[in-house]
């Protein structure tokens, strides 16, 4: 990326520079986890997880590769969490058994982490330390100041990380909402103070930078949802993210205003609401919340349901409803479904399917961009300019974005009037090490980083070999060729038999499979030398013969697995 | 869908009603193929193909299921093609060997069909009959009038299908471009005449109906592209669809205007351009077109390339360039890549990857919505209202859209001021039969329809069983358990051996696989009765034992294939 990436990466701890490394983030730089080093001290920022992309077949979730931290456990002073979203806290259950450092976060963030750790039986060992926005915690040579920012979850913070060399600011996810739903503004005063004191480098969320102007306020959603709920004559079901506590509050408020009881559908949503209520981040008037079962006893126009699944996730509440597969809820004509979310790239097809299926049931469906029933939690172009104006950083490193977002951010930040010199903006990838001293910043090298796949119970046992095999199997299936060979002579004693799955419908492909057997028989009998069987040779011979023949006949390449038995 | 869908579908030909059936279209109603019947006469409208969705693993393309036409070949009077896009002509090479009726289309449409049939050696048998927009052809009792409409390919037509009972209009794909790039307006006069004469039913493209207002004119694209090309100091590469002949013409014009030679990259693009030039639909000034190899001898600011792959298709020219895998072209800093297309839902991730990779090479990348470098070829809301005003149809059946689009179309068409009675608008699915007489329209029943998968050379051999197996294989891989059994006693003689792919990385899972073998051995030795082996029983025993054990240990479910050899 930058030309100086080959610079020598000094493995020794030193107080001469700060080292900053985005460790993981699927398709994006950073997002899930970061490491910051100074002298002997290391802090980790966020420990999130990602959801697999389409071609990561059979994978349940994706974690950052933490091998860079191996052998450095003693130097880790703490884990600072910016906010309680899955992509920032979801990796903790996998990290803690290996690296058990104190975890710092605001009350709601820790509440959501507590839930997660409890589920996995890891809460007892975890060392959770609550901070309030405005607090500064000392972690070795670092003083980490938590500064409130707006985002689509309450209690989000950016981190001002003070070191003897200078202050770096890591934004986490943010927007500069002028009228946040919870009334809790971004702490502009502290940002201004940090700018005045001097910010050496800004590491900033840039994922929404392709959008001009300002991201609309979260309150806009309530303004759209209110009249829709008011006008609906039947039940209203609003799908959103389980973690959008501010959105959930607004929906409760709307239910109260228009005389509807509110029910929750989806386990993660119920858990999050419970935590938020207990900690005082969500206020539900007495009697407003009912169970989904209770809604059956209400008139349809007294029912408002919040559910998960706005991304069309196949096992979510909304997908189950759309597929007539929910134990709790049947869609019916007269219902109004509102998708209060924009599909994340890659989810458009499954979201579209949910919409189509709900329409087919005679329901009304409302979704963006047809109505503004969702706003982003991330800053648009003008907000980025405002943050740069407040902080006036010397160096800027956009993170939490794809390459296209980093490029757009660099254009915005270096434009006339904004004026960060282009040479002071670094576009990096996961594992790239930014080193900073008071005079300069540079890419110092690269460390191991990447994705660790989780499938079922196991972490990491799934490597690229396994994924690659799944892709091959998925394309044209598998075909076993079973033969029994005389150990002494190498002659065919029994078989070949063929077993195939996912290649052709075997019942209709008798001729093709019979011809394949003949080819194998010919190929093996050709070897008439009466020499003992060479297992490797036979394997390769069978595989090559069958693969070539099937490709000629069908233009497909099933995975051919020879099974050679010797007697 | 409609309540009367269960009405008896009379299998006998009759002159008392017209029958209209959308036969195929992946996720959309119609789009690929339609059947219209009256008395003994049948016409087919369009014979397209679809591209597989993500979960259709290993499938190359998808064809309409034509089993409804079996035994009706003698009644088919002709195949009318509305325009030359793949999703309207791409199924012809598979249809013609089964149903060889005369094919009617405008010159460009037939030119593109000719190319396609030539490639497959099918041209000699095909009976291609050229029509000009404005012509009417008599096909049995049908008089089919071809009426010019604007779309993203020249020479597109809607069909006014005149019958003794009344006229039905089938739009094909259309927009009402006020200033088409080729200057050839939609034939409003004829549409007005049809409206005056009376239209019994309108079957209309509705895929872009979620967009308010009017679709921008194709000329808008040139207005955006011109300055970008003018200002670029290096090479410019514009990716678009091979069939967007009007777009291609505009790009040639821009090359000419700004002193750049134009080269083509992508086989389908080269073929289409050749056909369009030969037929006079594309004008290229002498010396403007060069080969890609020739561009190496030009200054960078004299080079303009048109390539395929704007949808991120993995084997397309643009994807290969982005992945350093093109034999013809290497991306370099200073290049400007323009994606003159909007991702089709489902393609966002692969398009995003192409954009990111091009940026990583130091190139500039421009794509919608950051610049208006693409416009749709389909009508927006106001154009639909205009068409309804021109034709004043009695019944309206939106086709060529997902369920969400049909619903939105029904809202637009039945709104005050547009005023089609909601009861006269039918929302149907593939295979639904609309019957019309002069008094009424209704859904008469349902006929076989759906998708036929093409994988490699074979059509239809791939059914849902095979796709399902591929999905299972893709999720957790495959595991073979190979045992040799004494035929007389049923005792284990050799094995079990285990071969696995796509499940675990076998080299690291020795213990798990050893334990699995022990389980199999225990399960089989438990059967100590000295009775001959029952193959089915052994198979099931092995499969159940292994599946259960592996699920307990890993929470994964590989496909377990027992291989039982008897000696």
The Cα angle at residue A457 between residues A454 and A459, in degrees rounded to 5:
40
Task: Please check whether residue A23 is in contact with residue A448, taking contact to mean a CB–CB distance below 8 angstroms.
Answer: no
pLDDT for B213-239, tens place per residue? 999 999 999 999 999 999 999 999 999
Residue of A149, A151, A146, A91 lying closest to A122 (CA atoms): A91
Query: In sequence order, what DSSP letters do the residues of A107-139 get, joined into one string?
Result: HHHHHHHHHHHHHTT-TTT--EEE--TT-EEEE
Chain B 18-37, residues with CB within 8 Å of chain A CB atoms: 27
The C-alpha atoms of residue B389 and residue A159 are separated, in whole angstroms, by: 60
The C-alpha atoms of residue B77 and residue A393 are separated, in whole angstroms, by: 74
User: Residues near B549 by Cβ (< 8 Å), separated by ≥ 6?
Assistant: B515, B516, B519
Positive or negative: CA dihedral A291, A293, A299, A301? positive
Say whether A407 and B365 touch across the interface (CB within 8 A).
yes
Residue of A144, A321, A340 lying closest to A250 (CA atoms): A340
Would you state the structure tokens that stand for residue B333, as one six-digit string? 């800093």
pLDDT for A329-376, tens place per residue? 999 999 999 999 988 877 888 899 999 999 999 999 999 989 999 999
Q: For A55-80, what is the mean pLDDT?
A: 85
Would you state the structure tokens that stand for residue A394, as one six-digit string? 């010397």
Question: Where is pLDDT greater, at A533 or B356?
Answer: B356
Q: For A444-455, what is the mean pLDDT?
A: 79
Report whether pLDDT(A301) > 50: yes
User: Residues near B123 by Cβ (< 8 Å), separated by ≥ 6?
Assistant: B114, B117
Chain A 388-417, residues with CB within 8 Å of chain B CB atoms: 402-404, 406-408
pLDDT at residue number B38: 96
Report whether pLDDT(B1) > 50: no
pLDDT at residue number B393: 97
Task: Please check whether residue A335 is in contact with residue A318, taking contact to mean a CB–CB distance below 8 angstroms.
Answer: no
The C-alpha atoms of residue A68 and residue A75 are separated, in whole angstroms, by: 13
pLDDT at residue number B6: 43
Q: For B394-407, what is the mean pLDDT?
A: 96
Active site residue B384: no
Chain B 328-387, residues with CB within 8 Å of chain A CB atoms: 345-346, 348-349, 352-353, 355-357, 359-360, 365, 370
pLDDT at residue number B421: 97
**Which member of A53, A478, A563 has the closest CB to residue B473?**
A478
Report whether pLDDT(A8) > 60: no
**Which member of B58, B407, B499 has the closest CB to residue A475?**
B58
Report whether pLDDT(B474) > 80: yes
User: Residues near A196 by Cβ (< 8 Å), separated by ≥ 6?
Assistant: none
Contact residues, chain B, for A27 at CB < 8 Å: 352-353, 356
Report whether pLDDT(A2) > 60: no
Give this prediction's pTM: 0.83
**C-beta atoms surrounding B302 within 10 Å:** 15
Say whether A561 and B404 touch across the interface (CB within 8 A).
no
Positive or negative: CA dihedral A280, A286, A287, A288? negative
Highest mean pLDDT among A549-563, B1-15, B16-30, B243-257: B243-257
Contact B458/A at CB under 8 A: yes
The Cα angle at residue B169 between residues B163 and B171, in degrees rounded to 5:
150
Chain B 136-195, residues with CB within 8 Å of chain A CB atoms: none
Q: How near does any CA of chain B get to the CA of A316, in Å?
A: 18
The C-alpha atoms of residue B536 and residue A90 are separated, in whole angstroms, by: 45
pLDDT for B476-486, tens place per residue? 888 888 888 87
Active site residue B491: no
- What does the H/E/C string look like for B189-232? HHHHHHHHHCCCEEEEECCCCCCCCCCCCCHHHHHHHHHHHHHC
DSSP state of B23: E
pLDDT for A203-243, tens place per residue? 999 999 999 999 999 999 999 999 999 999 999 999 998 88
In chain B, the percentage of residues whose pLDDT exceeds 90 is 60
Would you state the structure tokens that stand for residue A83, as one six-digit string? 């906010």
In the three-class reduction of DSSP (H, G, I as helix; E, B as strand; rest coil), residue A319 is classed as helix
User: Residues near A265 by Cβ (< 8 Å), separated by ≥ 6?
Assistant: A237, A292, A305, A306, A307, A308, A317, A326, A328, A329
From the list A205, A253, A335, A455, the catalytic residue is: A205
From the list B173, B205, B335, B476, the catalytic residue is: B205
**Which member of A463, A469, A477 has the closest CB to residue B477?**
A469
Between chain A and chain B, how many beta carbons pairs sit less than 8 Å apart? 198
**Which member of B352, B402, B469 has the closest CB to residue A477?**
B469
Contact B210/A at CB under 8 A: yes
Say whether A349 and B346 touch across the interface (CB within 8 A).
yes
Q: Which of B352, B356, B409 should one mutate to test binding to chain A, selecting the residue with the greatest count of A CBs within 10 A?
A: B356
Q: For B39-64, what is the mean pLDDT?
A: 82
Residue A139 C-alpha from the chain's centroid: 28
Highest mean pLDDT among A92-96, B147-151, B244-248, B505-509: B147-151
User: Residues near A244 by Cβ (< 8 Å), separated by ≥ 6?
Assistant: A152, A153, A340, A377
Contact residues, chain A, for B58 at CB < 8 Å: 474-477, 502, 556
Q: Which of B342, B466, B480, B562 should one mutate to test binding to chain A, selecting the residue with the greatest count of A CBs within 10 A?
A: B466
The C-alpha atoms of residue B167 and residue B160 are separated, in whole angstroms, by: 7
pLDDT for A471-482, tens place per residue? 888 888 888 888
Say whether B480 and A480 touch across the interface (CB within 8 A).
yes
Query: In sequence order, what DSSP letters do the residues of B427-469 get, joined into one string?
Result: ---TTEEEEE-SS-EEEEEE----EEEEETTEEEEE-HHHHHH
Please measure the distance between the N-terminal and C-terminal CA atoms of chain A and give it in whole angstroms: 59
Q: For A415-430, what is the mean pLDDT?
A: 95
User: Residue A306's beta-bridge partner residues?
Assistant: A238, A264
Say whether B359 and A54 touch across the interface (CB within 8 A).
no
The C-alpha atoms of residue A348 and residue A551 are separated, in whole angstroms, by: 34
Say whether B210 and A556 touch across the interface (CB within 8 A).
no
Contact A565/B at CB under 8 A: yes
Report whether pLDDT(B244) > 60: yes
pLDDT at residue number A119: 85
- The H-or-E segment that residue A191 falls in is helix A188-197
Q: Which of A357, A403, A430 should one mutate to test binding to chain B, selecting the residue with the greatest count of B CBs within 10 A?
A: A403
Q: How near does any CA of chain B get to the CA of A499, in Å?
A: 8
Q: For A462-479, what is the mean pLDDT?
A: 79
Report whether pLDDT(A84) > 70: yes
Report whether pLDDT(B563) > 90: no
Report whether pLDDT(A276) > 90: yes
pLDDT for B113-142, tens place per residue? 999 899 888 999 999 999 999 999 999 999
Say whether B1 and A360 touch across the interface (CB within 8 A).
yes
Contact A458/B at CB under 8 A: yes
Report whether pLDDT(B56) > 90: no
Contact residues, chain A, for B473 at CB < 8 Å: 470, 473-474, 477-478, 501-502
Say whether B474 and A478 touch across the interface (CB within 8 A).
no
With bands split at pLDDT 50, 70 and 90, how would you rate the model's confidence at A5?
very low
- What does the H/E/C string look like for A53-79? CCCCCCCCEEEECCHHHCCCHHHEEEE
Residue of A174, A15, A31 lying closest to A91 (CA atoms): A31
Report whether pLDDT(B5) > 50: no
From the list B170, B378, B384, B400, the catalytic residue is: B378
User: Is the bond leading into A402 cis (omega within 30 degrees of zero)?
Assistant: no
Task: Please check whether residue B239 is in contact with residue B355, taking contact to mean a CB–CB distance below 8 angstroms.
Answer: no
With bands split at pLDDT 50, 70 and 90, how would you rate the model's confidence at B466?
confident
User: Residue A303's beta-bridge partner residues?
Assistant: A261
Name the phi and psi angles at B266, rounded to 5: 125, 125
Say whether A474 and B478 touch across the interface (CB within 8 A).
no
Say whether A345 and B349 touch across the interface (CB within 8 A).
yes
Q: Which of A82-86, A506-510, B54-58, B324-328 has the lowest mean pLDDT?
A: B54-58
The C-alpha atoms of residue B522 and residue A316 are separated, in whole angstroms, by: 40
Report whether pLDDT(A461) > 60: no
pLDDT at residue number B163: 97
Task: Please check whether residue B276 is in contact with residue B245, taking contact to mean a CB–CB distance below 8 angstroms.
Answer: yes
From the list A378, A384, A400, A405, the catalytic residue is: A378
**Which member of B349, B403, B478 has the closest CB to residue A53?**
B349
Say whether A54 and B456 touch across the interface (CB within 8 A).
no
Highest mean pLDDT among A335-349, A519-533, B326-340: B326-340
With bands split at pLDDT 50, 70 and 90, how would you rate the model's confidence at A9?
low
Contact residues, chain A, for B352 at CB < 8 Å: 27, 345, 402, 404
In the three-class reduction of DSSP (H, G, I as helix; E, B as strand; rest coil), residue A297 is classed as helix
Would you state the structure tokens that stand for residue B259, as one six-digit string? 């002193």
Q: Which of B50, B422, B477 should one mutate to test binding to chain A, selecting the residue with the greatest count of A CBs within 10 A?
A: B477
**Which member of B58, B480, B484 has the closest CB to residue A474?**
B58
**C-beta atoms surrounding B529 within 10 Å:** 9
Q: Which of B27, B349, B370, B398 should one mutate to test binding to chain A, selecting the residue with the greatest count of A CBs within 10 A?
A: B349
Q: For A277-284, what is the mean pLDDT?
A: 94
pLDDT for B258-298, tens place per residue? 999 999 999 889 999 999 999 999 999 999 999 999 999 99
Question: Where is pLDDT greater, at A318 or A484?
Answer: A318
Q: Find the largest Cα–Cα distance for chain A.
A: 90
Say whether B463 and A505 touch across the interface (CB within 8 A).
yes
Average pLDDT, chain B: 89
Say whether B556 and A455 touch across the interface (CB within 8 A).
yes
The C-alpha atoms of residue A395 and residue A410 are separated, in whole angstroms, by: 11
Query: In sequence order, what DSSP letters do the residues of A145-179 get, joined into one string?
Result: EEEE-B-SSTT-EEEEEE-SS-EEEE--S-B--SS
pLDDT at residue number A349: 86
């Amino acid at each position: 990326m930058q030309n100086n990436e080959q610079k020598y990466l000094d493995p020794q701890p030193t107080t001469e520079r700060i080292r900053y490394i985005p460790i993981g983030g699927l398709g994006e730089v950073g997002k899930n986890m970061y490491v910051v080093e100074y002298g002997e001290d290391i802090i980790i920022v966020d420990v999130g997880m990602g959801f697999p992309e389409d071609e990561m077949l059979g994978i349940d979730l994706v974690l950052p590769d933490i091998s860079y931290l191996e052998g450095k456990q003693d130097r880790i002073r703490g884990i600072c969490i910016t906010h309680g979203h899955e992509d920032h806290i979801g990796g903790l259950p996998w990290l803690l058994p290996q690296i058990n450092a104190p975890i710092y976060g605001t009350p709601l963030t820790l509440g959501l982490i507590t839930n997660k750790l409890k589920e996995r039986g890891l809460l007892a060992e975890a060392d959770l330390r609550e901070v309030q926005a405005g607090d500064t915690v000392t972690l070795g040579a670092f003083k980490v100041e938590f500064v409130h920012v707006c985002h689509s979850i309450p209690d989000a913070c950016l981190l001002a990380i003070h070191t003897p060399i200078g202050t770096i600011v890591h934004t986490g996810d943010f927007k500069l909402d002028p009228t946040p739903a919870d009334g809790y503004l971004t702490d502009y005063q502290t940002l201004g103070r940090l700018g005045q004191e001097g910010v050496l480098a800004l590491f900033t969320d840039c994922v929404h930078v392709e959008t001009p102007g300002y991201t609309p306020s979260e309150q806009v959603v309530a303004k759209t949802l209110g009249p829709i709920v008011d006008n609906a004559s039947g039940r209203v079901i609003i799908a959103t993210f389980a973690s959008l506590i501010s959105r959930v509050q607004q929906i409760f408020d709307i239910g109260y205003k228009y005389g509807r009881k509110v029910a929750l559908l989806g386990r993660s949503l119920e858990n999050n609401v419970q935590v938020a209520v207990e900690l005082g981040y969500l206020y539900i008037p007495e009697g407003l919340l009912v169970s989904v079962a209770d809604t059956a006893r209400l008139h349809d126009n007294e029912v408002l349901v919040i559910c998960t699944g706005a991304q069309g996730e196949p096992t979510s509440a909304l997908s189950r409803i759309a597929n007539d597969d929910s134990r709790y809820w049947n869609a019916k004509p007269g219902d109004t479904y509102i998708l209060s979310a924009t599909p994340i790239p890659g989810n458009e097809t499954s979201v579209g399917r949910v919409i189509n299926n709900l329409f087919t049931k005679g329901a009304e469906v409302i979704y963006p961009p047809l109505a503004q029933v969702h706003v982003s939690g991330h800053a648009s172009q003008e907000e980025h300019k405002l943050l740069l104006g407040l902080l006036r950083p010397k160096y800027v490193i956009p993170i939490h974005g794809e390459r296209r977002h980093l490029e757009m951010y660099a254009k915005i930040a270096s434009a006339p009037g904004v004026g960060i010199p282009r040479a002071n903006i670094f576009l990096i990838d996961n594992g790239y090490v930014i080193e900073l001293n008071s005079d300069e910043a540079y890419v110092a090298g690269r460390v191991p980083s990447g994705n660790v796949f989780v499938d079922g119970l196991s972490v990491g046992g799934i490597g690229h070999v396994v994924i690659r095999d799944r892709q091959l199997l998925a394309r044209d299936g598998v075909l076993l060729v079973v033969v029994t060979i005389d150990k002494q002579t190498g002659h065919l004693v029994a078989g070949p038999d063929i077993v195939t799955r996912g290649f052709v419908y075997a019942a209709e492909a008798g001729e093709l499979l019979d011809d394949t057997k003949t080819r194998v028989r010919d190929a093996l009998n050709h070897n008439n030398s009466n020499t003992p069987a060479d297992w490797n040779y036979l394997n390769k011979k069978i595989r090559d013969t069958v693969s070539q023949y099937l490709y000629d006949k069908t233009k497909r390449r099933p995975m051919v697995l020879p099974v050679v038995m010797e007697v």
